[in-house]
Amino acid sequence: MKFEDVMDAFEFVSSNYETVNMALISLETGEIYYVSEWGESDELPDNYEDRASYAPVPHKNSLNLGRDLVFEFAADNMEDEYDQVVRIFRRRGAYSRFKGLLEDLGKLELWFEYEDRKKKEVLREWCLDNDIKIDDE
């Protein structure tokens, strides 16, 4: 299956809270099934809960790609502002304030590149761990 399809499913699952969207990959066919509490969903096969046949696509938080990634980035690229980033993430709306800080510092594009690279690395590793064979991008 194409890595881009796995990435799309990952983005779908991660686009909301962890329980709102779900995607399952058939380990036999590579078909991806999408389920959402907010809208239309694919019809799931009868044996969709069989972990030997289907792999649930993880949410970004379960792969440490949420706040943990922000703190990792800040430690590597914003040493002088690290404490400020920690304070930002103590309240709601942290991501928009964090991105505002990045924009003020001229590091927003650096963040997007870092986040994209890390997501791809971690998701490729997840695919390997779950015996999902992917084509290169």
Of all residues in the chain, the percent with pLDDT exceeding 90 is 77
Give the global pTM: 0.83
Average pLDDT, the chain: 93
Least Cα distance to 54 among 27, 29, 36 occurs for 27
User: Given this model, what pLDDT does residue 40 score?
Assistant: 80
Classify residue 111 by burial, with Cβ atoms within 10 Å: 0-12, 13-18, 19+: buried
Q: Where are the domains of the chain?
A: 67-115
Task: Look at residue 130 and tell me whether its pLDDT is greater than 70.
Answer: yes
CA distance 66 to 24: 21
For residue 38, what pLDDT band results from cuts at 50, 70 and 90? confident
Instruction: Read off the pLDDT band of 17 (50, 70, 90).
Output: confident
